[in-house]
Amino acid sequence: MNNKTKALILAGAFAAASAANAQVTIYLSGSTAFRAETFNSIKALYGGSPSITPAGATTSSSKVTYVGNGGNIGTLFGGQTVTIKTAFSGSVEGIINVVGAANPAGVTQPTYLNADNSTDSNTVADFVLSDVFQNTSDYNDGLYAALDDYQCGVVCFAWTRNVAAASSGISNITHQQAQQFFASGSIAKSFWTGNLADTAPVYLSGRYKLSGTRLTYQADCGYGANADATLYMLDGSHNPILDTAGQTGGGGVATILEDTTTTAAFIGTLGTSDSAAVVTAGGARLTYNGVAFSKAAVQNGQYSLWGYEHIFPRPGTSATKLKLIVGTTHPATPVTSNGLVNAIDTALSTSVNNVQLSTMNVARNADGAPISP
């Protein structure tokens, strides 16, 4: 081999190494309730125009891959091409992922999409979004590593009834009623309306045990965040049947509530983004303890069905990847950097469903805990 050939081989090797070093791939998993804000915020970080797979992805999509080097992404990563892959399934499932715990029986971590729409079989997340504190879950810091916690917003929830005429007349749920509903999964409509002639059952549709949505609902009403619950879904004939596992995504609950064929009355546990879609389809939100959801009611403490949205990095995540979350400021504090924390805060300024952390006039120190000024 002559020197010229060696030089060409070495040049090719260095070029390949430089190309490899010029690409960063980051994996996000966790909460589905906050996927709309995350979708908009990641797009904004790229300057609004990354390459997106699948091409028809929307704010309700759970598996999305973004590729590009524009906007703040280009600034943060020195012009490198950055690929961000999201695959959302549930808050606690995400916590399990980053603390390195074994998956419960029947649970598999989600895979991701490559830019060509093929499957990326990686299931290890760099960051996860969660609707609940780590210590609300069974994977708390007494058993596993304490996770760094970057709070980026307030995620809100709303009890929502289905589009079927059978649920009309149901307008409010109290926390005591919610406790009984989680325990039984089906209660006569008279329990809600006060009319003893309303004997038909009303069914509860909800999320699986690794959902932050479920933990938030159960913690807030005092039922117990991680307690077992009785849930229902629809069979192929649109009739209610027991849902022994619960729905893995908010979209699954929304689909049940939006079903126009069933004659059964359902009430579901949803984040406000998914709830809004059900309302558009003909369902309705219930008041909670007599208070309707609004951003002002959350900000000022009248409405309690909310939690903080957290971003948990995998322990040992590289400083390069951490820049996505914290931007050029480390450690990050909300609204002070050009990373995802700040992008989400900006997106929340125009959200009708969730709330900017910086606008809250009240606080709580745990999920379902008392709210104080």
pLDDT per residue as tens digits for the range 190-238: 999 999 999 999 999 999 999 999 999 999 999 999 999 999 999 999 9
Give me 40's structure tokens: 């908009």
Angle, CA of 213, 180 and 302, to the nearest 5°: 55
- Whether the predicted pLDDT of 336 surpasses 70: no
pLDDT tens per residue across span 94-142: 999 999 999 999 899 999 999 999 999 999 999 999 999 999 999 999 9
Picking from 306, 353, 339, the residue whose alpha carbon sits closest to that of residue 42 is 339
Picking from 272, 277, 186, the residue whose alpha carbon sits closest to that of residue 229 is 186
- The pLDDT value given to residue 33: 84
Domain identity same for 186 and 290: yes
- Whether the predicted pLDDT of 170 surpasses 50: yes
The domain of 218 spans: 155-299
147 in a domain, yes or no? no
Domain identity same for 210 and 334: no
- The pLDDT value given to residue 6: 37
- Whether the predicted pLDDT of 14 surpasses 90: no
142 in a domain, yes or no? no
Q: Report the Cα–Cα distance between both ends of the chain, in Å, rounded.
A: 76
Of 232, 267, 299, the one marking the end of a domain is: 299
From residue 331, give the alpha-carbon distance in Å to each of 69, 321, 325, 339. Answer: 23, 13, 10, 12
Of 319 and 162, the structure prediction assigns the larger pLDDT to 162
- Whether the predicted pLDDT of 337 surpasses 80: no
Domain identity same for 39 and 97: yes
Enter the DSSP assignment of 365: S
39 in a domain, yes or no? yes
- Whether the predicted pLDDT of 19 surpasses 60: no
CATH number at residue 243: 3.40.190.10
From residue 226, give the alpha-carbon distance in Å to each of 90, 131, 135, 213. Answer: 14, 14, 11, 11
From residue 44, give the alpha-carbon distance in Å to each of 2, 69, 97, 153, 324. Answer: 51, 12, 27, 16, 12
Domain identity same for 118 and 239: no
User: Residue for token digits 């596993």?
Assistant: 144
139 in a domain, yes or no? no
Domain identity same for 183 and 56: no
Domain identity same for 238 and 288: yes
pLDDT tens per residue across span 255-301: 999 999 999 999 999 999 999 999 999 999 999 999 999 999 999 99
- The pLDDT value given to residue 65: 98
Domain identity same for 106 and 214: no
Mean pLDDT taken over the chain: 91
Count of domains for the chain: 2
2 in a domain, yes or no? no
User: Residue for token digits 């049940």?
Assistant: 256
User: What span, in angstroms and rounded, lies between the C-alpha atoms of 122 and 130?
Assistant: 20
Cβ neighbours of residue 352 under 8 Å, at least 6 residues apart? 276, 295
pLDDT tens per residue across span 347-366: 999 999 999 999 999 999 99
- The pLDDT value given to residue 22: 57
**What radius of gyration do the chain's Cα atoms show?**
22
- The pLDDT value given to residue 335: 42
- Whether the predicted pLDDT of 34 surpasses 60: yes
Instruction: Give the HSE-up count for residue 310: Cα atoms under 13 Å, Cβ half-sphere.
Output: 22
